[in-house]
Chains A and B, each alone.
Chain A
């Protein structure tokens, strides 16, 4: 014991050794620092990162899913990444994905804080962003029974068949005129029109420019997705810096949707004949008016659901 103490004292007086120990400690602190909250447990492995920005530089030069794929093929199927101070766990293999969807399904059934609260489509009243709770369960049940369930799909089959026929006729006329067809665009029109019929009982009107306006809005919304994703992931950082970079443009689009939907809702409220059955909007309005409904939905809830349905049509192509 005594010798060790003596040795230590001797070392203490060698500045070079002191310096090299200091350097080694620095390297450890910078490159092997564990993200906050590890509480001594093993976090998923993490590729080498830079100070402050973390792994941000690895994600900037490619489409996100491709950049992530490159990382996972190099470092493994379960990774812990850090963008500034925000930790992200990345899952890229079938077996880990299976594990989280089966074992931790409820635990991961929320999407976290909405990026911008007031925004209609990704705000706090949005169905997509809603935490896994009463509101979400109620809406999901409604959507399944009234829109996506087998019975509901059976009922709306006629409307879709009509739209498919119109699509076919449209292609025929393009053929006659030897025009080129942009398939993705036409297919989106087809799905959009069909979904409009299913949820509000009529297609968007081409004549007064309504359809074009909706398509424009959907394009704008889609352009916002990436920014909103970023806002959501970096929400904590933005809060610390007290900035909200995409708020204005998001709220702009949100307001335009709001005006459009208000018109459609009023149109439905004034409707008196239900000869053609009830569309989704009628059903939702009934729930909205019903004081005894299982869950009290607001006008914003109602609108947000419809906004979500329109970009959704893009996703399936």
Chain B
């Protein structure tokens, strides 16, 4: 969310997409999500740069060869999802917030498959998070609704993206422009970010 607020052009494009699919008379619903590719791309990009669980810990049950090196059994394996998803060999401009990279039209099938493998915010394999779908639904509807119905202003231009172990905590905003009905009614308000 913070990333969206920082980039007005992304917010604008997102809002346009939601407006055209959902209209201005009702709230966003789960069934709208498949028709909102840009919203999905924004969420994916957000999770790529700020995965909620950046380290995945596993145990090697039997000794095996990984990347040409031998890993003995019972070794603790730590996959740094944060680094994988900012790996400059796999991602163009890895530290930039660019939702476009997740839009299907900009790439072929081959690339799409490849992308699935380097994008692991919910882990991967058998032990990957079983709630992935639900996760996307929650984030999708919540962010969709907040963008669709409200305008968010920050106090000054700085939104602090510093991370704490408890996740990204952000203090946000006064809704400024509100609900599809009152969308013409602009009010000035303050926004606090810590």
Question: B-contacting residues of A (Cβ < 8 Å)?
Answer: 37-39, 41-45, 63-66, 68-69, 72-73, 77-78, 80, 86-102, 104-112, 132, 140, 143-144, 147-148, 150, 153, 157, 160-161, 164-165, 167-168, 171-172, 174-175, 178-184, 187, 190-191, 194, 222-223, 225-226, 229, 232-233, 312, 314-317
Contacts and interface: CB of A to CB of B under 8 A. Distances in A.
Given A180-B171, A182-B172, A93 B84 contact: yes
Interface string B29-47: 1100000000000000000
Nearest to A156: B134
A100 B77 contact: yes
B160 interface: no
Given A180-B191, A183-B1, 7 more contacts: A44-B66, A44-B67, A89-B66, A92-B84, A97-B117, A132-B127, A184-B168
Contact of A144 (B27, B130, B149): B130
Q: 5 smallest A-B Cβ distances: which pairs?
A: A94-B118, A112-B59, A41-B70, A65-B54, A183-B172
Contacts of B189: 178
B126 A180 contact: no
Given A89-B66, A132-B126, A171-B150, A183 B55 contact: no
Interface string B130-166: 1111110111011001100110000000000001011
B172 A232 contact: no
Interface string B60-104: 111010111111101111111111111101100000000000000
Contact of A111 (B58, B66, B89): B58
Contact of A148 (B61, B86, B130, B179): B130
Q: Which of A45, A105, A140, A229 has the most CB of B within 10 A?
A: A105
B174 A172 contact: no
Contacts of B62: 107
Interface in B167-191: 167-175, 178-179, 189-191
Contacts of A174: 174-175
Contacts of A232: 57
B192 interface: yes
B172 to A, nearest CB: 4
Given A101-B125, A233-B76, A179 B61 contact: no
A96 B70 CA distance: 13
B193 to A, nearest CB: 9
B67 A316 contact: no
Contacts of A91: 66, 77-80, 84
B120 interface: yes
B82 A69 contact: yes
A38 B63 CA distance: 10
A94 to B, nearest CB: 3
Contacts of B82: 65-66, 68-69
Given A108-B125, A112-B76, A182-B172, A160 B142 contact: no
Nearest to A106: B126
Contacts of B60: 89, 104, 107-108
Contact of B76 (A66, A87, A157): A87
A316 B87 contact: no
B53 interface: yes
A180 to B, nearest CB: 5
A106 B28 CA distance: 40
Contacts of A105: 125-126
Contacts of A44: 66-67, 69, 71
Contact of B75 (A89, A147, A179): A89
Given A92-B87, A109-B125, A312 B163 contact: no
B3 to A, nearest CB: 12
A294 B194 CA distance: 51
A314 B164 CA distance: 13
A94 B137 contact: no
B141 A226 contact: no
A143 B103 CA distance: 30
A317 B78 contact: no
Q: Which of A69, A77, A107 has the most CB of B within 10 A?
A: A107
B66 A226 contact: no
A316 B90 CA distance: 24
A88 B57 CA distance: 10
Contacts of B30: 157, 160-161
A225 to B, nearest CB: 8
Nearest to A144: B130
B170 to A, nearest CB: 5
B33 to A, nearest CB: 11
A154 B11 CA distance: 29
Given A44-B71, A107-B64, A90 B124 contact: no
